[in-house]
Amino acid sequence: MRWLVLTIAILGSALPATAGTTRPKQRKEVHRTSRVTYYAPKGHSIDVKRTEAFLDRLAALFGPNPNGWRVQYHLHDSKHVVHLESGLSAYGVTDLDTLRIDSVRAYHPHELVHAVTGRLGRPPLVFAEGLAVALTSAGRRGGGDLDQVALTALAASRGLKPFLDRFSEQDPDAAYAVAGSLVGYLLDLYGVDAFVAFLRGCDLDSGRYEAAFQRAYGRTVARATLEWQRSLGEGSRSAREWYDPASWPRSLQRETTARAAAARAAIGVTVVAEAAPVGPRVEALGLGHVLDLQPTSGDAGFSLDSPR
């Protein structure tokens, strides 16, 4: 797509002058399965077994991938090489259009979440990265509890707006904790099916995300995020069952997550009740003035695992 090529060119022009003088090690195909072709430099191995097992769990959660879906997984020996290959500084980068993953990790579940769910829809970064963090972090970020790091980050930034408007400009530990905590909250109360419905409503015209969110959750993005922030201030969360991929999809079904949320409410964590479904004219009501989360074209086309 034209905008995707342009994004790569712009980012590439910003590389340090010395970057082009370092040649990455030659990679070769080291393994091939029905879903992934794996490439690695000589002397490096990829954890194919864990990768394929995690893809099985994601298929159980999000459904089978369409015919022809195939990931190109490129393992690199340094983050510098990822930068050279993709033009983006990160431990891992997923191109959502070509399904190419560039990573320094032999097993990178965060990027696998992006590769699988990118076919469903392209929401703003706070939701796309939040899902990957929520499903793969086991509730930890920046050396601490995910929700507590998010609470501290919100206090330091005086609110959520910087993370919603300019996600990629924020400190990665703070931004990814905020995103993961927000999506974790949505998964707790509504299960994964509501999030999938939201994703499916977010096409490449990312401006449609607000209407998609209202259809899926029966509330505006602004209201849902205020409820999440209120819940963070009312108590900590115990380990969620759905942190374990072996429990998918059962642990992320609506009735299971709702029971878990109710149990937390009983021990002092308030859970806001779900509103009634919105009416058929929701798309015509209140759009464009609640929150401006429209990402850049680069945000819509790439997903990252930024430095921790």
pLDDT tens figures, 19-68 = 444 566 788 999 999 999 999 999 999 999 999 999 999 999 999 999 99
The whole model's pTM is what? 0.80
- Environment class of residue 143 by beta-carbon count within 10 Å: exposed (0-12), middle (13-18) or buried (19+)? exposed
Question: At 149, is the pLDDT very low, low, confident or very high (cuts 50, 70, 90)?
Answer: very high
Backbone phi, then psi, for 92, in 5-degree steps? -155, 145
- Amino acid letter at 124? P
CA nearest to 146, candidates 110, 186, 178, 108 = 178
Rounded to an integer, the average pLDDT of 10-27 is: 49
Rounded to an integer, the average pLDDT of 200-210 is: 78
pLDDT at 16 (0 to 100): 41
Contact 303, 127 (CB under 8 A): no
* Whether pLDDT at 287 is above 70: no
H/E segment holding residue 177: helix 172-200
Contact 184, 146 (CB under 8 A): yes
DSSP state of 101: E
Backbone phi, then psi, for 303, in 5-degree steps? -130, 140
Q: Share the mean pLDDT of the chain.
A: 80
Q: Give the domain ranges of the chain.
A: 9-117, 125-295
pLDDT at 203 (0 to 100): 76
Rounded to an integer, the average pLDDT of 140-165 is: 89
Query: Residue length, the chain?
Result: 308
How is domain 9-117 classified at the CATH fold level?
Zincin-like (3.30.2010)
* Whether pLDDT at 119 is above 80: yes
Question: At 261, is the pLDDT very low, low, confident or very high (cuts 50, 70, 90)?
Answer: confident
Per DSSP, the three-state class of 303 is strand
pLDDT tens figures, 210-242 = 999 999 999 999 999 999 999 998 765 668 999
| CB-CB neighbours of 35 under 10 Å | 18
pLDDT tens figures, 100-114 = 999 999 999 999 999
| CB-CB neighbours of 268 under 10 Å | 9
